[in-house]
Structure formats: structure tokens, C-alpha cells
Amino acid sequence: MASSRSRLPEIFDSYQKSLQKIDAIERQLEEKVTEKRHRAINLLDEIPSYRKSTLRLYISHHSDLETAEVPISPPVSATPVANENANANAITNANANANVEGTDTSPAAVPNEIKTKEVKKNKWNIEIEGRLLIGHKDHEAAELLEKSAKVLAKKEGRSYVTQSDVTSDANMTSRERAATRFMHDREGEDPVLPIKFAHFFDRVSVSFQTYQKKSELKNAASFTPGKPRSKRGTNPSRKQAPTPPVRKENYTTNGVVSSLFWNRQRNNPSNPSSVQNALDTNAYHAIYNDDLEPEGYENKIIATIRLHRRWQEQRYRPSNAFCIALLPSFLPKKQLPTAMTNHPTNGVQAPPPPPPVSNDINVPSLMTIDDGLQFFHHYIKKNNLLDANDLSTVNNNPVLEELFGCKTMNVSSIQSLFLSRKLMVPSILGTAEDCPIVLTYVMKKENATNSKNRTDGKDADSGSSTDMMGESSPKRRRMSTSPVPQEDVEEPTANLLSCDIDIDVPHLYHGRTRDILRRIKIREYEYTSCRTKALRTVEYSRANEDIIKERLENIVKGKALTSNHLPVLAALAKAAPDSEARKAAHFDAKTTLLVDRLVEHSQKAKSCWDIIDNCLSMQNK
């Protein structure tokens, strides 16, 4: 290009090589982004939007005394069981404590002419709480990543907005505001937040019923054993009179049941046509009030808890016929408890059923439709029921023939046969086919977590300690000196009920992946929109539309940029304020100017060196 003594060609060539390397890196980056984008879109379809996990439930209760004002009524004969009016008042108080619909539950004003008195009542507070055995690891990792990304963005003077951010857009640039609006409003997707506890269920109901009987300790105190007689001088053949057993009292009840309900979704007070989610909390508290038991009596409260799990995918209950034929392990081992009410038989009131002695857990066996199909395919493969000539046909054996009512069937029709013959019944909230978890919890004062009658700590006689369930050790029961026989004393029920249940936890991957795809879409939208605006801006200057489009195409592809492209680059920068496209247009314009100046100065240097070479050649001659 010029004499070997000139360094300008060398500088220009090195600069060109650097630009070529940058272009190669940009192409590789674009190819990698496109590849990862397609991979992310495929994973959104392949990976389920939830993960299966285990939730450990804990149920306990407190027992307190509270004073309430009730109107003075004429005296009535005392009965061992609280009357119906008292239970009706308990229902009102319980529902007032569990109000979730936003209604006014303030007590009505008592007229001045009605006199009231203070009455002590039992206040029972049952607590339902739990935690995941494997916590929200994905949310914890995402939070750490977001913190590091926000710190880096702050150093670079930009804002980093994520899907879970709920911030004011007052201090945002137009680009950041558009990105936030695009992520939250336009897509209509709520951020995936870690569930504490309450939102793992769609509905929770608690039913209370009071049972009452004479206190066993009172009966034991009325029995005074006499001094044991000496065996000296007695006839050994003469039988000793047996000790009269202590009569065991039965519980009685008036059959009144108080129920509380909690729903995850409820009507929006501001917009009745829409629904909103209730507040997610770490526990449920159900409060039940009943009358204080008379002296010498004890109350037992039976709480029936129904937990309706929130499934991310529809669950089905296999029928008994399906379980007997294919899944014997899924057969229910016991029937679900029915409502605790008395049903008349032939005009005669049936005696009330005895209350449960201990806590009980009933978790239904549910599965997805894919699980049922998997079990069925395993069965036909194990029994070699596929037709050898047509693998899409199943030759039913006597068990399947009785189950499906046909000798042969197509593999593609198995799912429809499951549903049409009700071999798998969908568990839908609010219908007769709904299958909640049913827990029976027995509450007494001596096994409450705040009770002073329970033995906590170490036993002074035997040196042993009580277990977690509030039941004394066998050694201590053997050493008891109570005059009441041990087999007649009802053992204290557990004050803590615990069980593990399977639940669905929403996955964070889908929300965050869609967040990244939205960011890519926003970036592409910025470039395409500024090109359209720039084309219209340049057209207003009466320029040739074909030439403008050709130069825009050169800018997009990044090839052969000259000073003629500067007006188009300026229009692109003006059409994209506060965006990456504006910075890219400015960078391309400055680079183009620099390259043109380098070419111009290189040509001038070449001309100067040509003159110097000519002068030197003339001098030599």
C-alpha cells in the first residue's frame, strides 16, 4: 500500500483484524443464543410445571378459659352436656374467629333492658401447621443469583428487574418500564413465589363435637380400698371376695356439630365477578368455644379435619374393581368417617356412637391418568396380552374382560375406557367424588400443649422421661399406685398428631425461563421497532426508499458500513431512546467514522510517502 517505512498500513490491518474477530464472536454468540433459546422452549414442554414433594403435618391444640357475657335466662335443670343454645353460640364465636369472606362479624349491640352475666367458657385452639421435608432450594438459588446480578447491574449504572420484583416505575427509564410492563401485564403471568403452607390446600374444613362424661379421677377418689387382711389363721381354700371394679362412665353428646371452612380462592370484594387468593400463612388456627363442664365432669372434643390438597395436575381415584384387578395395594384399608350426627331409625332415636378413643389418619390413594396408564401397560406386558400380529390391539384375559366388558380393545382407547366406565374417577373440589385427607383429632385438657396436668420432663420415680406424644412410659404405668385398675383407665391421647403427605410444589424453572425468553423478545422488539421508526423518519426527508432499505439491511448484517450510512444510523439512535439499540447505533456510527478517517489518512500518508520516494529517487539520479 505504501513504503515499508510507513506504520499506518500495519495499524490499519491490525484494526481490521480486530473488527473481524469481534464480528466472529458476535456470530458465535448469536448462534449459541439461538440454540439455547430453542432448547429452553423444548424443555418448557418436556418438564412438568411442578415437582412432587413431601409435606409433614403437625396438629396440636391449646385449652384456655375465657369469660363471656351472656344474657340472663330463666333457670333450667342442669344436664351433663352443654345445651344446644350454648353450642349455637360456640358456632357463632368459632365462625367469627375464622371469618375469611370479609363480612362484618362484630357482636350485635345488646339492648339496655337485657341483663347479662359473665360466664366462663372453654376456648379450644387447634393448630394445623407443616413444612416441606425438602425446602424451596430452587428459590434460594435463584435469590442468590439475583442478588449478584443486581449488584453487578448497580455497578454498571443500570436496573435489573426480575419477574418476582414488585417495584415502583417512577425512577425507571422507558426501556425498563416497558420491560416490566411486558413481563407482568402483557403476559398475564403471576410471579412464582415460594409457598409457605396454606396455599398447598384449596380448602380446609374443621368440624367440632363435644362429648362429656363423669371424670374418672372423681370415680377413683370415691373408691377407698380397705386394709389388706393377714393370711395367718385364714382358710386357704376359702376364696377372697373380688375387688369391685370401678364403673366406667360412657360419653354423652347432644349431636351438635360446629364447622369452620377456609378457601384458598374467594370472591373479590371490589370485583364480585373475579376471584382472588387468600393470604398464604405458615399455619391454620381453628377456634372453638363450649361451655365449661360441671364439677366432676370432663369434656372431650372430637375435631374432624378435612384437607383438600391443591393439585397442579388432575388426580383420579381408582375404583374398587380397578384396584382388585390391577392394584390391590390401593384398596382402602378403612372407610372414611361419616358426619357425627344421630339418625333416627323407625321413629326411634338411635344411641349416639361412641367417640373415637385416639387420633386417626386417613389419606386417600390418588393417581394421575398417566400413572393409571403406566400400571395398565405394565399389566398387559407382564401377562403378554398384546396381539402378536397387531401390537395396537389388546387381547383381554378374563380379568380385563370383566373390567372393560369386551374381549379386545385398542391401546389408544384405554384412557377413554377408564373414564367412561368410571374405573378412574376424577377428584374435583366441591363434588361427591372429592377425596380429601381426613384427620380425627381428640382434644382434652390434660393433653393440651399448655396443660399443667400433663407430665413433662423426667419421672422422679423411674428416672425415665415422657415421649413426644405425651404418653407416660410403660415402666411408670406399672409403678402407679392408683387404686383404679390400669385396664379401666383410658390412656391419655397423643397431644401431637403428625403425618407425611404427598403434594405438588410449583416449579420455578418455567417462570424464570419464560422471563429470560421475554427479555430476549423485548430486545428484539427494540431493534425492530427502531428500524421501522427510522425508516419513516428518513422517508420524510424525501430520500429513495429502496436505498434506505438497502442501507438498513447492511446495518443489520453489519457489512460495508460507510459514511453514507451515517444518516440512517442517526435515525436509528433517535428512534430508540434509552435502549441497547441506541447504543449499538452510536457505536456503529463512531466506528464507521473512525474507519473512514483511517482510510482517508492512510491515503494521504501514501501520497506523502510517494512524494518522498520520488524525491529520493531524483536525488540518487
The pLDDT-based confidence of 165 (bands split at 50, 70, 90) is low
The H or E element that residue 277 is part of is strand 275-277
Whole-number pLDDT of residue 124: 92
The helix/strand/coil state of 35 is helix
The answer on pLDDT for 412 being more than 50 is yes
The pLDDT-based confidence of 311 (bands split at 50, 70, 90) is very high
Buried b / exposed e along 408-431 (16+ C-beta atoms within 10 A) = ebebeebeebbeeeebbbbbebee
| Phi, psi torsion values for 213, nearest 5 degrees | -155, 170
- Cα dihedral 182/184/187/190 (nearest 10): 160
Give me the mean pLDDT over the 177-196 stretch: 64
The answer on pLDDT for 137 being more than 80 is yes
> Edge to edge, what strands does the sheet with 116-132 contain?
283-291, 116-132, 50-71, 497-506
- Write down all domains in the chain, each with its CATH number in brackets: 1-47+509-616 (no CATH), 367-426 (1.10.245.10)
- Cα-based distances in Å from 514 to 68, 147, 176, 325, 409: 55, 19, 17, 44, 41
Highest mean pLDDT among 107-111, 400-404, 475-479, 570-574: 400-404
The answer on pLDDT for 284 being more than 90 is yes
Tens of pLDDT, residues 211-248 = 988 876 544 444 444 455 555 555 555 555 555 554 55
Q: Considering all CA atoms of the chain, what is the largest pairwise distance in Å, rounded to the nearest integer? A: 162
Residue reference for cell 489518512:
601
Residue reference for cell 372453638:
288
Least confident of 165-169, 291-295, 494-498: 165-169
Question: Taking the alpha carbons of 566, 568, 574, 578 in that order, is the dihedral positive or negative?
Answer: negative
Whole-number pLDDT of residue 512: 82
Q: Give the whole-angstrom CA distance, residue 221 versus residue 246.
A: 10
Tens of pLDDT, residues 49-92 = 888 999 999 999 988 888 877 777 554 443 333 333 333 333 33
Whole-number pLDDT of residue 242: 56
The answer on pLDDT for 105 being more than 70 is no
